Amino acid sequence: MAVEQFLMNTHFTALSITTGQRWVALHNDNGESGTGTVDNGNAGNAGQISDFVQLGDLETWQNVESPMQQPDNRMVVNSEGKLYAWGRNNSGCLGLSDTTQRTSPVQVGTDTDWLEAANTGGCCVAIKVDGTLWTWGDNSAGQLGTGNTTARQSPAQVGSDTDWAHGLPTGINHDFQVAMKNDGGIYYSGSGTGGLSTVSSFTQIGSEEGFKDAIMIGTGVVAFK
């Protein structure tokens, strides 16, 4: 069974991972609810959801999404290790080989060894159970970490390292990506922020290691030992 290490509720409680049905309500401007509808601000907010609706009939969803994800789309790994995406698809950030918006969950490829994945504005960062790092979407600032600025509309492995532990979604700040390795070192790629230089390959932030958890808050990193 493939599961993400961190719960959607908070990173810092002893709550357990839950597997079951997925229910959604309220905001749905870009089809991010996954119910097949969308509200574009017309027709009396016809796409908004005023009561909870079950998302399909799958019972393998988990409460393992990061609260810092981009709000206009979803990137979800279920208990079977399958990766699903839906919502806004700017720059191909859904990983479905196009830029077409989706209003219902669509499986990304056929792999069943995904550990976690998260939207970061117009790009995405994901990790497989073997510890490899994968990115896709907008790459205008080198934020995919692939050594260039070529955008990708489907998952592409970053290097050959197999010691990646966690991707830190940066919300609407889509010009850089942040990820943590098993040794607790934290790395970034893309536009420089906080005095960092712009790079197109994942580069460690400072020299400190041993962090057990970390989360992005805006453009800042909060890490814990």
The DSSP-derived string for 187-221 is EEEES--TTPPPEEEEEESSS----SEEEEETTEE
**C-alpha dihedral sign at 152, 156, 161, 167:** positive
Q: 1 lies in a domain?
A: no
Return the pLDDT at 38.
Answer: 79
| pLDDT digits 0-9 by tens, 144-181 | 999 999 999 999 999 999 999 988 888 666 788 999 99
CB 99 within 8 A of CB 89: yes
Q: 184 lies in a domain?
A: yes
Q: 125 lies in a domain?
A: yes
| pLDDT digits 0-9 by tens, 58-86 | 999 988 776 667 778 889 999 999 999 99
More confident residue, 44 or 68: 68
Q: 3 lies in a domain?
A: no
Return the pLDDT at 216.
Answer: 82
Closest to 120 measured CA to CA, from 141, 97, 143: 143
How large is the average pLDDT for residues 24-40? 81
Can you give the CATH number for the domain in which 74 is found? Answer: 2.130.10.30
CB 157 within 8 A of CB 133: yes
Q: 57 lies in a domain?
A: yes
Instruction: Kindly report the pTM of this predicted structure.
Output: 0.87
**Residue 105 to residue 120: CA distance in whole angstroms:** 18
Q: 107 lies in a domain?
A: yes
More confident residue, 213 or 112: 112
Q: 2 lies in a domain?
A: no
pLDDT at 10 over 50: no
- Quickly count: other Cβ atoms within 10 Å of residue 124's Cβ: 33
Q: Which domain holds residue 157?
A: 19-224
Q: 103 lies in a domain?
A: yes
CA 53 to chain centre: 23
Number of domains present in the structure of the chain? 1
Q: What burial letters (b/e) apply to 132-166, b meaning 16+ CB within 10 Å? A: bbbbbbbbbbbbbbbeeeebbbebbebeeeeebbb
